[in-house]
Amino acid sequence: MTEMQNKWPSGDYSNCQCPYCGHRDDVDISVVRENHLDWRPSDCSECFGEYWLFAENGAVTVKKSDTNANTFRIHHHYDWGDQSVTIEAPSGLDTKRVAVYIQFQAENLFGDEATVTNLGIAAALVSFYGCKHTSHSRYGEDLDMYFEREKLCPKYKELMADVSLMRDDLQDFLKEHLDA
């Protein structure tokens, strides 16, 4: 055994934290240990950020290849199959916050059970907030409507009072984009 090989944690997997989004993944380290390597490339299953995992120092960031920081893949944790929609947001737009605002507006207007489709969220972002539809991509920031909504629930009143997010005609628009 080499000195470097001894620095890898025991077991075939290392639970490491993505240096971009903080998501934890189990990364297979058995091959790097067997081959006496001191690092391996990896990518996050949540944000698709690419990084290097080192035996001694843990995860180190590298450039997110082919990733546009303003590209978002909108989906919902409970979707059946891939119903995701990819959009490109203008610089400076807090896209996740705006997407949740749109969902909260639908709930206010149509009842607590109202859910806007992924395409509806994307279409509202395009129609009212300056975003653009873009080709489907595995790269881009993950915008899971279920988790983002849950994260912003404690800030509901503040979010709904933000006049910069209010748009005329959003109510009529959302009627056409509710999940049946």
- Looking at the structure, do residues 152 and 77 belong to the same domain, yes or no? yes
Q: Quick check: is 144 in a domain?
A: yes
- Residue 1 pLDDT > 80: no
Domain count across the chain: 2
Half-sphere exposure in the Cβ direction for 27 (13 Å, CA):
28
Q: Quick check: is 94 in a domain?
A: yes
- Looking at the structure, do residues 105 and 33 belong to the same domain, yes or no? no
Q: Quick check: is 128 in a domain?
A: yes
- Looking at the structure, do residues 81 and 22 belong to the same domain, yes or no? no
- Looking at the structure, do residues 107 and 147 belong to the same domain, yes or no? yes
Q: Quick check: is 5 in a domain?
A: no
Q: Quick check: is 164 in a domain?
A: yes
Nearest to 77 by CA among 148, 156, 17, 26: 148
- Looking at the structure, do residues 85 and 168 belong to the same domain, yes or no? yes
pLDDT tens per residue, range 59-68: 555 544 444 5
The boundaries of the domain holding residue 143 are 71-175
pLDDT tens per residue, range 73-130: 899 988 888 888 889 999 889 999 999 999 999 999 999 999 999 999 999 999 999 9
**What's the token pair of residue 107?**
């709930």
Mean pLDDT of all residues belonging to the chain: 83
**What's the token pair of residue 98?**
């705006």
Host H or E run for residue 167: none
Count of CB atoms within 10 A of residue 111's CB? 9
- Looking at the structure, do residues 42 and 75 belong to the same domain, yes or no? no
- Looking at the structure, do residues 77 and 163 belong to the same domain, yes or no? yes
Place of tokens 């991509």: 137
- Residue 3 pLDDT > 50: no
| Torsion sign, CA atoms 42, 47, 48, 51 | negative
- Looking at the structure, do residues 46 and 131 belong to the same domain, yes or no? no
- Looking at the structure, do residues 115 and 43 belong to the same domain, yes or no? no
Q: Does the predicted TM-score (pTM) go above 0.85?
A: no
Q: Quick check: is 108 in a domain?
A: yes
Gap between the Cα atoms of 86 and 56, Å rounded: 37
**What's the token pair of residue 108?**
């206010």
Nearest to 74 by CA among 177, 161, 157, 165: 177
- Looking at the structure, do residues 135 and 80 belong to the same domain, yes or no? yes
